[in-house]
Structure 1
């Protein structure tokens, strides 16, 4: 398995497709996150120097993605962690998250935040195992049971 941070046209197209699959997988409307604008401006906030976008390849197939965006000078947010169904259970999500956390540290961030929802059970377990702690909401999320978490880097 290989995880890369790449911004060439092919990688950006693959990442955008994956994020679209992620949105469909969630099964609820992401308008509260300005998702349509995010897709129009892609990679937008996930671009260097303040953001980051990574792809995971497994046996030369695009398996998953993860992104990071700046919240403020010290804090960033993990976004769009998604592993395609056929590649789940292989530790890809964990490796993507580990690599993103390392990259956030290299970028000088002190804290990483995220939000998640109850139906993403394996993601919630992963975040807890990685040391993320529950925090008060830092933006409006209308999804019942939305959970906000933070990790000191």
Structure 2
């Protein structure tokens, strides 16, 4: 994390406008329409399915502005789905996406989920690479996605970032 970067849980209603702005930017970012997700209803009911204890929503801040987000929601008692992972273009290439995903996985595991699932569109090649590096493998879909070439991925939890694993191993 950079010195001026802060990743924290979104607070409602205080962060509502910031969440809506970055979520709208996210759904406008791919070359295909995400209207099938029903995001208008989702946005109108925030935090909705991302509310604790079944879900969560993280915002990444730099210099007082939101530059990234990640969220998760309950699928069933064992699994959650990682959603809305997005880093604004100006903050890409800094490792922020990895830090957001790692924090989301850690918090989802702490909430008692045993597995996290997601889907990733074919054009999001950097995200696909990141998920592979973090141990995600092919999985069955947990939500509807009609876009050809979409990858459905999952990994078991609890999750500990590599730094945490190294620290634990060096202390034993």
TM-score (structure 2 length as normaliser): 0.85
Question: Following TM superposition, where does structure 1 have runs of at least 4 consecutive aligned residues deviating by more than 4 angstroms?
Answer: none
Aligned length in residues: 153
Gaps spanning 5+ residues in structure 2: where?
158-172
1:116 corresponds to: 120
CA–CA distance in structure 1, aligned partners of residues 22 and 72 of structure 2: 15
Deviations, residues 62-101 of structure 1 (Å, cap 9, x unaligned): 1100101000001000000000001100111000000000
* Counterpart-to-counterpart distance in 2, 1:6 and 1:29: 26
1:18 paired residue number: 22
* TM-aligned CA deviation for residue 31 of structure 1: 2.5
Q: What 5-or-longer segments of structure 1 have no aligned partner? A: none
Higher alpha-carbon deviation: 140-149 or 110-119:
140-149
Cα drift, residue 24 of structure 1: 0.6
Conserved? CA contact 2:59–2:66, under 8 Å: yes
> Matches of 1:50 and 1:139 in 2, distance apart?
16
Cα gap change, 1:18/1:152 in structure 2, threshold over 3 Å: closer, same or farther?
same
**Matched position secondary structure for 1:26:** coil
Which position in structure 1 is the counterpart of 2:72? Answer: 68
Deviation at 1:40, TM superposition (A): 1.6
Q: TM-score, normalised by structure 1?
A: 0.95
Looking at CA atoms only, which structure, 1 or 2, has the larger radius of gyration? 2
